[in-house]
Amino acid sequence: MAAAFADLHTDAGLSNLEEYLSNKTFISGNEISKDDVKVYAAVPKKPSGGFPNVSRWYDSIASVLAGRFPGEAVGVRIGGPAAAAAAPAASGATPKEEDDDDLDLFGDETEEEKKAAEVRETAKASSKKKESGKSSVLMDVKPWDDETDMKKLEEAVRSIEMPGLFWGASKLVPVGYGIKKLQIMMTIVDDLVSVDDLVEERLTVEPCNEYVQSCDIVAFNKI
């Protein structure tokens, strides 16, 4: 059975609510609901110390509402009983219709909100799908000759930064005649990095081509 309260602007009405809240945290159930909001609206202000249960409940509801409506209130004036009685007649609405039109602070999502949520979820899924397409690449980077500073060559290679490119481990591998090549691992996001463009537009042009003569892909594996 639904709880009923009356005259919450009086001590008698508050006493009834005080007794009701003696073993409850909220009006209905174990969490705040529209029932709490309706009763809260009927209590003009926080009760005095003579109603500890009501005061505790009032503070809880007030804190929740303050979090949902952080804007600064400047105050409004509500008309008396006569104005309230005249409102339904002027609009042609019955009291039941007026009640249905009350502000629903905890209502269901509107169609617009649901569509917006679906768009956000689709965008997130698309983003995750793009990021999941990755490859592991092993590349040989060859110097011009045996006099090329291989330390500076590696520094030049690793200085290349772009979205979706992650340099990994490396080592120097003897080629012959005192020449060594740099063998280096990298992980790329397929939709963001083209290995061909990386080689042709970054690794074998200035300033890297001062040290880099050519590049070869040794292994290319999807992750």
Q: What ranges do the domains of the chain cover?
A: 11-68, 134-222
Cβ-based neighbour number of residue 51 at 10 Å:
20
Higher pLDDT, 61 or 82: 61
Residue written as token pair 């990994």: 168
Q: How far apart are CA 14 and CA 8, in angstroms?
A: 5
Q: How far apart are CA 135 and CA 222, in angstroms?
A: 4
pLDDT at residue number 221: 94
pLDDT of residue 32: 86
* Token couple for 41: 């609206």
Structure tokens of 11?
């001590």
The beta strands (E) that lie in the chain are given as 134-143, 165-176, 179-189, 212-222
**pLDDT score, position 29:** 81
pLDDT band of residue 124 (cuts 50, 70, 90) is: low
High-pLDDT (> 90) share of the chain, %: 39
With CA atoms as reference, report the closest residue to 34 among 110, 84, 99, 122: 99
Q: Is the pLDDT of residue 211 over 70?
A: yes
> Which residue is it, tokens 């793009």?
130
User: Which is it for the CA torsion 14, 17, 22, 26, positive or negative?
Assistant: negative
CB 157 within 8 A of CB 183: no
Decide: helix, strand or coil at residue 179: strand
> What is the per-residue pLDDT for 81?
52
CA–CA gap between residue 171 and residue 173 (Å, rounded) = 6
95 CB burial (10 A radius; 0-12, 13-18, 19+) = exposed
The structural architecture, per CATH, of the domain 134-222 is 2-Layer Sandwich (3.30)
What pLDDT is attached to residue 194? Answer: 93
* pLDDT tens digits, 20-74: 998 888 898 888 888 888 899 889 888 887 899 889 889 888 888 877 776 666 6
Q: What is the pLDDT of residue 65?
A: 81
Distance CA 84, CA 54 (A): 27
Confidence of residue 97 (pLDDT cuts 50, 70, 90): very low
Position 62 scores a pLDDT of: 86
